[in-house]
């Protein structure tokens, strides 16, 4: 049984753990709704959502962005206005905003389920979970 919740991302425990990979999509969409930006800035801002810098792999971020672009949730263009080499500038689409709203509904529902689970768990084991 995994006692070190902070090490789930290392894949060494056998418990279910939180699969945060899918959670990255709504986080990226919300960041892009706030402002169009580059991939590197998105990586830095993911820490706002509790992602540790060790969990934020550039390859993973860019795979998410490419997949979301293929699905029509974001679009990108080359930004040549900044000094230095051209960078991709990402922005959310109308369809991406719809998906973002759907994520918020799903997350709210799942939050309620998780809170009920924790209440039952805590009452059964008579202890609290450290946050």
Enumerate domains of the chain plus CATH numbers.
19-125 (1.10.10.10)
Q: Is the pLDDT of residue 15 over 50?
A: no
3-state secondary structure (DSSP) of residue 58: helix
Least confident of 4-18, 45-59, 69-83: 4-18
User: What gap in Å lies between CA 40 and CA 28, rounded to an integer?
Assistant: 12
pLDDT score, position 119: 93
3-state secondary structure (DSSP) of residue 93: coil
Q: Is the pLDDT of residue 3 over 70?
A: no
User: What gap in Å lies between CA 36 and CA 90, rounded to an integer?
Assistant: 5
128 pLDDT band, cuts 50/70/90, is low
125 pLDDT band, cuts 50/70/90, is confident
Greatest CA separation for the chain:
59
Q: Is the pLDDT of residue 115 over 50?
A: yes
pTM of the model: 0.79
Is 68:74 a contact under the CB 8 Å cutoff? yes
């Amino acid at each position: 049984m995994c006692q070190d919740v902070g090490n789930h991302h290392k894949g060494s425990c056998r418990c279910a753990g939180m699969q945060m990979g899918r959670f990255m999509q709504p986080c990226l969409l919300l960041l892009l709704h706030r402002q169009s930006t580059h991939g590197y800035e998105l990586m830095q801002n993911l820490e706002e959502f509790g992602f540790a810098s060790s969990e934020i792999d550039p390859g993973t971020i860019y795979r998410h962005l490419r997949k979301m672009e293929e699905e029509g949730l974001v679009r990108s263009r080359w930004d040549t206005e900044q000094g230095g080499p051209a960078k991709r500038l990402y922005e959310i689409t109308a369809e991406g905003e719809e998906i973002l709203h759907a994520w918020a509904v799903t997350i709210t529902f799942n939050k309620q389920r998780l809170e009920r689970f924790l209440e039952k768990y805590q009452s059964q084991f008579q202890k609290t979970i450290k946050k």
